[in-house]
A and B are shown apart, each in its own frame.
Chain A
Amino acid sequence: MSETLLSVGDLRVHFPLRRAMPFAPRRTVRAVDGVSFDVAPGTTFGIVGESGSGKTTIALAVMRLTDITGGRVALGGDELSALHGERLRAARKRVQMIFQDPYSSLNPRMRAGAIVEEPMQLMGLEDDAGRKARARELFTQVGLREDQLQLFPHQFSGGQRQRIGIARALATKPELVVCDEPVSALDVAIQAQILNLLTELQRQYGLTYLFISHDLGVVQYLCDEIAVMYLGRIVEQATREALFENPLHPYTWALLSAVPRLGRRRRGAASRIRLEGDPPSPINPPAGCRFSTRCPFAEARCRSEEPPLREVHAGHRIACHLVGEGGAVPHRPGLD
Chain B
Amino acid sequence: MAEERARGPWGEAWSVFGRNYAALVGLGLLALVAAMVLVGPLVYGVDPFEIVGAPKMGPGIEPDAPFGTDYLGRDVLAGLLKGGRPTLIVGICAALITTIIGITIGSLGGFYGGAVDGALGRVTEFFQVLPALLFAMVLITLFTPSLLTVTLAIGVVAWTGMARLTRAEFLRIKQLEFVRAARSIGASNARIIWRVILPNALPPIIVSATLATGTAILFEAGLSFLGLSDPNVMSWGMMIGSNRNYLREAWWAVTFPGVCIFITVLAISLVGDGLNDAFNPKLRTR
Given A150-B6, A151-B4, A152-B7, the answer on whether A97 and B176 have CB atoms closer than 8 Å is no
Checking B8, B182, B184, B191 against A96 with a beta-carbon cut-off of 8 angstroms, the contacting residue is: B184
Provide the bound-state CA to CA distance between A39 and B254, in Å.
Answer: 80
A142 at the B interface (CB under 8 A): no
Residues of chain A lying within 8 A (CB to CB) of residue B9:
108-109, 152, 154
Residues of chain A lying within 8 A (CB to CB) of residue B199:
107, 109
B185 at the A interface (CB under 8 A): yes
A178 and chain B: residue at smallest CB distance: B184
A38 at the B interface (CB under 8 A): no
B186 at the A interface (CB under 8 A): yes
Pair B196/A119 contact, Cβ less than 8 Å: no
Given A108-B9, A152-B8, the answer on whether A99 and B185 have CB atoms closer than 8 Å is no
Pair A92/B177 contact, Cβ less than 8 Å: no
Q: Which of A67-100 contact B (CB under 8 A)?
A: 89-90, 92-93, 95-97, 99-100
Residues of chain A lying within 8 A (CB to CB) of residue B176:
104-105
Pair A168/B182 contact, Cβ less than 8 Å: no
Checking B184, B186, B196 against A97 with a beta-carbon cut-off of 8 angstroms, the contacting residue is: B184
A189 at the B interface (CB under 8 A): no
Checking B7, B185, B191 against A123 with a beta-carbon cut-off of 8 angstroms, the contacting residue is: B185
Given A97-B180, A108-B200, 20 new contacts (CB under 8 A): A65-B184, A90-B186, A93-B186, A97-B181, A97-B184, A100-B177, A101-B177, A104-B177, A105-B180, A105-B181, A107-B196, A109-B9, A111-B6, A118-B182, A118-B185, A122-B185, A122-B187, A151-B6, A155-B7, A165-B181
B183 at the A interface (CB under 8 A): yes
Residues of chain B lying within 8 A (CB to CB) of residue A107:
178, 181-182, 196, 199-200
Pair A109/B200 contact, Cβ less than 8 Å: yes
Residue among A99, A105, A107, A123 with most chain B CB within 10 A: A107
Pair A92/B184 contact, Cβ less than 8 Å: yes
What's the minimum C-beta distance from A64 to chain B, rounded to whole angstroms? 8
Pair A168/B185 contact, Cβ less than 8 Å: yes
21 contacts between A and B (CB under 8 A): A89-B188, A90-B186, A92-B185, A92-B186, A101-B177, A106-B178, A107-B178, A108-B200, A111-B8, A118-B182, A119-B185, A122-B187, A123-B185, A148-B4, A150-B6, A151-B4, A154-B9, A155-B4, A155-B7, A168-B185, A172-B185
A63 at the B interface (CB under 8 A): yes
Provide the bound-state CA to CA distance between A123 and B188, in Å.
Answer: 11
Residue among B176, B177, B185, B191 with most chain A CB within 10 A: B185
Interface string of A100-139 (1 = CB under 8 A from B): 1100111111010000001100110000000000000000
Pair B181/A99 contact, Cβ less than 8 Å: yes
Provide the bound-state CA to CA distance between A150 and B183, in Å.
Answer: 23
Residues of chain A lying within 8 A (CB to CB) of residue B186:
89-90, 92-93, 119, 122-123
Q: Which of A212-248 contact B (CB under 8 A)?
A: none
Checking A65, A89, A108, A119 against B180 with a beta-carbon cut-off of 8 angstroms, the contacting residue is: A65
Residues of chain A lying within 8 A (CB to CB) of residue B185:
92-93, 96, 118-119, 122-123, 168, 172
Residues of chain B lying within 8 A (CB to CB) of residue A154:
9, 12
Residues of chain B lying within 8 A (CB to CB) of residue A92:
184-186
Provide the bound-state CA to CA distance between A168 and B187, in Å.
Answer: 14
What's the minimum C-beta distance from B213 to chain A, rounded to whole angstroms? 24
Provide the bound-state CA to CA distance between A270 and B170, in Å.
Answer: 50
Interface string of B8-28 (1 = CB under 8 A from A): 110010000000000000000
